Amino acid sequence: MEFFTQYRYLIIPITTWFFIQLFKVIWDLVTTHKFNFKRIMGAGGMPSSHSAVVMSLTTMIAKEYGITSPIFAMSLVFSAVVMYDAAGVRRAAGKQAKMLNKIAETPGLTGLQMQEKLVEVLGHTPMQVIVGASIGIIVGLIF
């Protein structure tokens, strides 16, 4: 128990990430009837594991050190950057990848030979980020 207490700021966020990613694998299996192991490490989808991880850590820090502590402020800013990136920059990159894949597959449009398709599911919708952040807050409050 001492080990868990001593390393909870690592164990809880990593465990949260693992179970959310496992949920995505199982959800894909149920909905598509295909096992997609890439989902365990892949980005995107409901809910955002990135948001859950950073918000579980931020919530645990708030409980331990208070919301006026510098470590909480740093964690909250870090969380905001991660969630903004997940819903903004990475989502836009995913949309661009989807469009580039379509262009490259159009016969006669380009002489481009692609070795592999670009990854299209990179980011999250705002709702996926909100749900992930909510899960993180709940986990952080529990532990």
Give pLDDT tens digits for 32-77: 888 877 777 777 788 999 999 999 999 999 999 999 999 999 999 9
3-class SS of residue 116: coil
Count of CB atoms situated within 10 Å of the CB of 8: 15
CA 28 to chain centre: 16
pLDDT value, residue 61: 98
Say if residue 91's pLDDT is above 70. Answer: no
Q: Render 55-102 in DSSP notation, one character per residue.
A: HHHHHHHHHHH-TTSHHHHHHHHHHHHHHHHHHTHHHHHHHHHHHHHH
Based on the number of CB atoms within 10 Å of its own CB, is 125 exposed (0-12), middle (13-18) or buried (19 or more)?
middle
Give pLDDT tens digits for 13-38: 999 999 999 999 998 889 888 887 77
pLDDT value, residue 13: 97
Residue ranges of the domains in the chain? 2-88+123-142
Whole-model pTM: value is 0.80
* Helix 49-65 with 126-142: angle, nearest 10 deg: 40
CA distance 110 to 114: 11
